Structure 1
């Protein structure tokens, strides 16, 4: 049992890193504009991330499984650990990097070490979402900004009432975004352990059923929640005020745009519906909430004429996105070598 806990600890560490970085971005704009207190945001974010992970987390994790099926518990431990350490480095620098990119890089590192072929179709699909998701989020933000601006101007709502409505909207949309993030990104945290899960399905008199995968995702969701509470505030402030100064209303638009983007890539139901109607469906791929939020912030700034953008901060974030998968892949490869040749643990079959 202690061995199992030890090997799963890297996944929990990665969950903590995701909570400290990616998950924080859901409420980053709200906290950055001081519309919502950090503790309130962290509580709501944590609850709905856990719900999303357990209820709807299976869909996006399959794509990572196709990229590389890590088939030994020790190997999964190293893959998750390499991704977590990479994200932690970036988080300490205050940069909203992508946990999705970190885990993909680590899986590719495992593929190289185990001489397993990388599914290029899955890799292209994942990389495509890295490019497309911030663009889509920016388009949503651009559109919602102009719609919101027109509504506010025509309604002539009192400033105090607008402020109250905005706070409520941020809470509701943030909860929706947190659920979508849990459903979409839990595969990053615990997906590599699915093929070597140590748990058994739990069923109580047919009334309650929790699969082994859901148990993994529950643990991962709790780890994410812990990361949100303990280490996310710095990244929240970077996203909320570091790239472009946001007003409370534009903060709401940013959260809404990024939340919808995450939902589109997480919803199995929407995917099945579009497929049944013979329409193009969004791939079920873990996407980066950081990229979605940054894309939304850029969409707002462009809607306002592109003025006052902190290009230095934006370039630093972009460099982090490029460096993350490379660093994670190299770290995973080196760590796998030590695990197998020094600690004599089999990391692949």
Structure 2
């Protein structure tokens, strides 16, 4: 059979087109990891341009543009790292998809920052340094710049390593390090630093203990009852009303107090009233939802899914209202110092500064958040809706208790401590039931070390990585901030 004279050219053309397609596919695969950093870089550039437009003191435009750019960088990192503590348990329990969690968190974080973030922020990060010790406003500006850069870099490194760290402690460490470099050790309020150091232990232990206590309550009062559905109809509305009451008080303290003064008695009254109203509404809803359910644990988990989603959304709103200052606080301090020529304990936050913080947190969550969400939600220990609900509830209760005692706790440490608490309680409970079963049937058999390690419900490698990151956060950011301040002040001042 004769070959068509056009066969060879067409075959060559098809081969060339196939090669081009493969090159294009390879190029897209190579470029994919660069998409998120590219979008983040574009946002930082836009933040700097916004600062140049809205800030009128032309002589200091360069400093303001740089501060806004690094403020946007810090906000991106808060979204990538800190928000995972609110949404991780809900995603790990399969109550929310990753996409749903990111959308809800982005909306609630932005709403919390813009609606309840307040118009005043502390410029010295909870009295860590004494502004009077600064030689001049210019020294104060470079100290705040160094604190902003060092804390952002540290949170970025922690996110890359898969360790959820406290952005509040990162900023505190940055301010302390820059303050020491600028004015010596005497500039630091060491009593405040001692309280913060104590919170490294208090936050996770208290959060873990409360989460474990609620899980024990659910097991004893619902899961181990012969009629689980009847027990759930009694206790789930009570637990939901506790959640609503606690979050109402939490939001009153952390969000509403930025708008109008709210004391602890007023917040607790608001929480009690909303809790009672929630119980009246929830009880018939749970009764209707539980009709026809099988009398087994899997059915009970469904009843906790909606409260868990609600708690995650409320935590995100409160986080946006409270922690946006970590991103924009130093930036607002720099803007105030350059505009007025002096520094103050508190300053007004310009709207464009607050918008940078809110959008940056949302972009950071969308672009880089899934890694830490998976870490908190599923890689430390296995969560279901009931366990995740205990973690979310413990976070709000712990903040309420700590606020009443005047303890500076970290929401990151509380939430992750709650995950650890649930996991370690399950380990203890499993070992206890195993011993009881064996003692009732036969003598306890020796279990090899390797087998006991395999049965652990909390991954020890993640536990050690996270705890190590917590311990070194303040020293690391302090050292980095001091170094950055010396470079900035020595070269640019």
Q: Specify the alignment match of 1:151 in structure 2.
A: 222
What is the CA–CA distance in structure 2 between the aligned matches of 1:54 and 1:176, rounded to whole Å? 15
Match of 1:224 among 358, 361, 372: 361
Of the two, which has the highest radius of gyration?
2
Partner of 1:310: 459
Matched, 1:91 2:228: no
Partners in 2 of 1:184 and 1:130 — Cα distance? 19
Q: Post-superposition, which runs of at least 4 consecutive aligned residues in structure 1 deviate over 6 A?
A: none
**What's the counterpart of residue 165 of structure 1?**
303
User: Which residue does the alignment assign to 2:179?
Assistant: 111
2:421 to 267, 276, 299: 299
1:40-76 CA distances to partner (integer Å, 9 max, x unpaired)? Answer: 1112212222333344445884771411258544432
Q: Deviations over 1:158-210 (max 9, x none)?
A: 3676444332112100012112222332232222234333599xxxxxxxxxx
Indicate the structure with greater helix content.
Answer: 2
Unaligned 5+ segments in structure 1 are 201-210, 266-270, 272-280
Q: Give the distance between the partners of 2:126 and 2:386, measured in 1 at CA.
A: 39
Spell out the pairing of 1:17-166 with structure 2 (5 A cutoff).
17-57=77-117, 61=122, 64-68=125-129, 69=131, 72-115=140-183, 117-149=187-219, 150-152=221-223, 153=225, 154-156=227-229, 158=293, 162-166=300-304
Deviation at 1:136, TM superposition (A): 1.6
Query: Which structure carries more relative contact order (alpha carbon 8 Å, separation 6+)?
Result: 1
Equivalent residue, structure 1, for 2:321? 183
Q: Deviations over 1:126-180 (max 9, x none)?
A: 2222221111211220121123332354542536764443321121000121122
Aligned positions, number: 319
Mark the CA change 1:293 to 1:104 in structure 2 (over 3 Å): closer, same or farther: same
| Structure 1 SS opposite 2:125 | helix
Query: Residues 138 and 90 (structure 1 numbering): CA distance in 2 closer, same or farther, change over 3 Å?
Result: same
TM-score, L = length of structure 1 = 0.81
Task: Give how far 1:248 is off.
Answer: 2.6
TM-score (norm 2): 0.59
Please list every run of 5 or more consecutive structure 2 residues that lacks an aligned counterpart in the other structure.
1-50, 53-61, 230-289, 340-347, 429-455
